[in-house]
């Protein structure tokens, strides 16, 4: 058995880790893992100390999730050792990891759609009375957990009544209940906006104070520098650097991740802003969409900002014909139109990239190449015959353009890293050359380098005359990519402004306007 005095730091760092004083809660030593065609991890060492937030950074496909799946028992390493409190331990499966006090919030949500919130939070930990589940206790405990996290979610609510942000909070609640040693958060804020983020950060502080170790994965720099005590950078499955967060500058961190210097500033390739192509007047749908009017012009990027739950996704789905509004009109080129289904909208030249890549964006069981060309079929089809060459060229061009990392275009897309899946979703719709492009959280989970590329691409598409509506919860993205910003709160458009001289505060003031509306509408 390895006592804590014998513990040696596992990798070279010019910065002293306090591993000579404290035994890491968990330590991964020289872990390797290969998948067909790719060495996902190559002798990576990593550890987390009590009360520490250790951020794991790296490009899409760098191996972050794979390393964490090994820690949480979902994958077995090909070689290497895991130490729990200094003792070598084989983690056989996720349940075993839970018993060791390790809980993970997966990047792809793992909630069960057919169960309600309470059952999801307590899944596998259901309180019993004799041989039966004690339902009353179950919902009471779920309510306690949700309440302790400051979440206003009904434990009896069916899961499909929740939006992505709320689902993510339920996933977090479930993990927080289970973690007693280490909690792994793989892009926990990808669907959260400011207020939910604050709830999460407050929770992280409480977990730290209780001596838990937190492993945090994110592509958002602001967030990383806010929560990180230490940062470890992975690149191409290798350990590159471990330092205290304060010992990195942003450009340095980015350069270490991508292996070269890159410029993340959005290059504006402005074209002329033309005619209104799509217009919505007075859209209403139940309580989610109360009054939405907006217009999209050729060549213009409209950023749609707001908090999770503001009704942005519902409004977009109405524009795309996926849901029917209770009231309101949609005009295309100035003429009223009715989209009975997405097929109608697609025929009219509207493309929608949803925020839920698992649900609507991808066919997970099909290869990367098929997903890429699904939406572009008619472009690669030649007089009704699919040209293999055209397909190959389309796939190769987009793979290169967005730096999609797949061992082979024939591999099933569900095996790609999260960020690479998102790039395929984008490419799939961009290759369609729509007139109106609606993007819902287009860079969720995408690394800094590829994000800059996606931003440039959005500007370029607009410059070609496409009307773009970009829903994003990342204010820097809204401010830097848009020409005009429309803000929604509680189902209404609360204001709009040119993006040029808008500030985060301007947008937030309108995004929080619903609290004022609520006060006055009762």
Ligand X SMILES: Nc1ncnc2c1ncn2[C@@H]1O[C@H](COP(=O)(O)OP(=O)(O)OP(=O)(O)O)[C@@H](O)[C@H]1O
Closer to ligand X by CB, 416 or 488: give it.
Answer: 416
Look at residue 60 and give the partner it binds from Mg ion, ligand X, none, a contact being a CB closer than 5 to 8 Å depending on partner kind.
ligand X
Which position among 24, 58, 188, 311 is part of the footprint of ligand X (CB under 6 A)? 58
Supply the minimum distance, in Å, between the C-beta of residue 208 and Mg ion.
23
Query: Binding to ligand X by residue 35, rule CB under 6 A?
Result: yes
Place of tokens 């060495």: 39
- C-alpha 39/C-alpha 79 separation (Å) is 12
Nearest to 106 by CA among 43, 170, 184: 184
| Local structure of residue 474 (DSSP, 8 states) | -
| Residue 210 phi, psi dihedral angles, 5° rounding | -85, 5
- Residues numbered 455 to 484 that lie near ligand X (CB under 6 A) are none
Query: Binding to ligand X by residue 60, rule CB under 6 A?
Result: yes
Look at residue 416 and give the partner it binds from Mg ion, ligand X, none, a contact being a CB closer than 5 to 8 Å depending on partner kind.
ligand X
Supply the minimum distance, in Å, between the C-beta of residue 273 and Mg ion.
37
- C-alpha 122/C-alpha 320 separation (Å) is 36
Query: Binding to ligand X by residue 405, rule CB under 6 A?
Result: yes
* Side-chain-facing half-sphere of 43: CA atoms under 13 Å: 4
Q: Which stretch binds ligand X (CB under 6 A): 304-312, 356-364, 413-421, 494-502?
A: 413-421
- Residues numbered 107 to 126 that lie near ligand X (CB under 6 A) are 107
- Asked whether the CA dihedral 330, 331, 337, 343 is positive or negative, the reply is negative
Closer to ligand X by CB, 191 or 314: give it.
Answer: 191
- Residues numbered 4 to 23 that lie near ligand X (CB under 6 A) are none
Closer to ligand X by CB, 243 or 405: give it.
Answer: 405
- C-alpha 181/C-alpha 178 separation (Å) is 9
Supply the minimum distance, in Å, between the C-beta of residue 57 and ligand X.
9
Query: Binding to ligand X by residue 419, rule CB under 6 A?
Result: yes
Neighbouring CB atoms inside 10 A of 197's CB total: 18
- C-alpha 440/C-alpha 348 separation (Å) is 19
Nearest to 513 by CA among 495, 501, 497: 495
Q: Which stretch binds ligand X (CB under 6 A): 15-23, 89-97, 325-333, 410-418?
A: 410-418
Structure tokens at 390: 């055209």
- C-alpha 48/C-alpha 230 separation (Å) is 9
Rg of the chain (C-alpha set): 24
- C-alpha 112/C-alpha 244 separation (Å) is 38
Query: Binding to ligand X by residue 444, rule CB under 6 A?
Result: no
Supply the minimum distance, in Å, between the C-beta of residue 192 and ligand X.
17
Closer to ligand X by CB, 330 or 450: give it.
Answer: 450
Closer to ligand X by CB, 44 or 203: give it.
Answer: 44
- C-alpha 60/C-alpha 204 separation (Å) is 24
Closer to Mg ion by CB, 179 or 185: give it.
Answer: 185
Residues in contact with Mg ion by CB under 5 A are 65, 107, 417-418
Closer to ligand X by CB, 233 or 438: give it.
Answer: 233
Closer to ligand X by CB, 68 or 478: give it.
Answer: 68
Q: By beta-carbon distance, which residue lies closest to ligand X?
A: 419
Query: Binding to ligand X by residue 240, rule CB under 6 A?
Result: no
Query: Binding to ligand X by residue 62, rule CB under 6 A?
Result: yes
- C-alpha 313/C-alpha 441 separation (Å) is 10
Supply the minimum distance, in Å, between the C-beta of residue 62 and Mg ion.
8
Look at residue 66 and give the partner it binds from ligand X, Mg ion, none, a contact being a CB closer than 5 to 8 Å depending on partner kind.
ligand X
Q: Which stretch binds ligand X (CB under 6 A): 194-202, 309-317, 358-366, 415-423?
A: 415-423
Q: From residue 145, give the alpha-carbon distance in Å to each of 140, 215, 263.
A: 9, 21, 43
Query: Binding to ligand X by residue 311, rule CB under 6 A?
Result: no
- The torsion defined by the Cα of 214, 218, 221 and 224, in degrees rounded to 10, comes to 0
- C-alpha 125/C-alpha 143 separation (Å) is 14
User: Residues 270-294, buried b or exposed e (16+ Cβ, 10 A)?
Assistant: ebebeebbbbbeebbbeebbbbbeb
SS3 content of the chain, % helix, strand, coil (to 5): 35, 25, 40
Supply the minimum distance, in Å, between the C-beta of residue 66 and ligand X.
3
- C-alpha 486/C-alpha 496 separation (Å) is 4
Which position among 165, 418, 434, 449 is part of the footprint of ligand X (CB under 6 A)? 418
Q: Which stretch binds ligand X (CB under 6 A): 33-41, 171-179, 309-317, 452-460?
A: 33-41
Q: By beta-carbon distance, which residue lies closest to Mg ion?
A: 65
Closer to Mg ion by CB, 106 or 352: give it.
Answer: 106
DSSP-based three-state secondary structure for 291: strand
DSSP-based three-state secondary structure for 4: helix
Look at residue 494 and give the partner it binds from Mg ion, ligand X, none, a contact being a CB closer than 5 to 8 Å depending on partner kind.
none
Look at residue 94 and give the partner it binds from Mg ion, ligand X, none, a contact being a CB closer than 5 to 8 Å depending on partner kind.
none
* Contact residues: ligand X, CB under 6 A: 35, 38, 40, 58, 60-66, 107, 405, 415-420, 447
């Amino acid at each position: 058995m390895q006592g804590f005095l014998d513990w040696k730091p596992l990798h070279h760092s010019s910065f002293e880790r306090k591993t000579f004083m404290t035994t890491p809660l968990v330590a991964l030593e020289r872990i390797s893992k290969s998948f067909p065609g790719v060495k996902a991890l190559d002798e990576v060492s990593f550890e987390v100390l009590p009360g520490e937030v250790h951020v794991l950074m790296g490009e899409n496909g760098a191996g972050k999730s794979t390393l964490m799946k090994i820690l949480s028992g979902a994958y077995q390493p090909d070689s290497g050792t895991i130490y729990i409190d200094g003792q070598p331990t084989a983690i056989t499966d996720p349940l075993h990891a839970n018993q060791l006090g390790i809980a993970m919030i997966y990047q792809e949500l793992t909630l069960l759609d057919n169960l309600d919130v309470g059952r999801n939070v307590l899944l596998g930990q259901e309180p019993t009375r004799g041989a039966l589940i004690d339902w009353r206790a179950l919902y009471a405990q779920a309510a306690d957990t949700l309440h302790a996290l400051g979440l206003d979610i009904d434990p009896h609510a069916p899961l499909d009544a929740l939006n992505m942000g709320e689902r993510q909070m339920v996933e977090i609640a479930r993990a927080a209940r289970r973690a007693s040693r280490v909690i792994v958060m793989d892009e926990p804020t990808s669907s959260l906006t400011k207020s939910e983020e604050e709830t999460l950060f407050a929770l992280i502080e409480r977990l730290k104070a209780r001596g838990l170790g937190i492993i945090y994965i994110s592509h958002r720099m602001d967030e990383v520098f806010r929560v990180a005590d230490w940062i470890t950078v992975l690149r191409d499955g290798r350990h590159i650097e471990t330092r205290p967060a304060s010992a990195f500058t942003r450009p340095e961190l980015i350069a270490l991740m991508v292996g070269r210097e890159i410029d993340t500033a959005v290059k504006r390739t402005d074209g002329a802003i033309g005619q209104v192509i799509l217009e919505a007047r007075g859209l209403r749908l139940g309580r989610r969409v109360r009054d939405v009017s907006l217009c999209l012009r050729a060549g213009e990027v409209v950023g749609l900002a707001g908090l999770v739950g503001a009704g942005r996704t519902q409004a977009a789905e109405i524009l795309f014909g996926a849901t029917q509004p209770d009231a309101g009109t949609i005009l295309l080129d100035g003429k009223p139109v009715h989209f009975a289904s997405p097929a109608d909208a697609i025929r009219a030249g509207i493309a929608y990239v949803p925020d839920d890549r698992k649900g609507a964006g991808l066919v997970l069981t099909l290869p990367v190449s098929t997903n890429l060309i699904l939406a572009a079929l008619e472009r690669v089809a030649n007089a009704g015959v699919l040209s293999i060459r055209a397909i190959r060229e389309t796939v190769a061009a987009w793979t290169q353009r967005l730096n999609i990392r797949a061992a082979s275009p024939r591999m099933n897309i569900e095996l790609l890293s999260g960020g690479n899946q998102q790039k395929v979703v984008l490419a799939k719709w961009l290759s369609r050359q729509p007139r109106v492009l609606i993007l819902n959280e287009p860079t969720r989970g995408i690394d800094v380098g590829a994000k800059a590329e996606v931003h440039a691409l959005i500007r370029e598409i607009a410059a070609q005359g496409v009307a773009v509506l970009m829903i994003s919860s990342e204010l820097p993205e809204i401010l830097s990519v848009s020409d005009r910003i429309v803000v929604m709160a509680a189902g209404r458009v609360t204001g709009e402004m040119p993006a040029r001289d808008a500030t985060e505060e301007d947008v937030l003031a309108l995004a929080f306007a619903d609290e004022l509306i609520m006060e006055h509408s009762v």
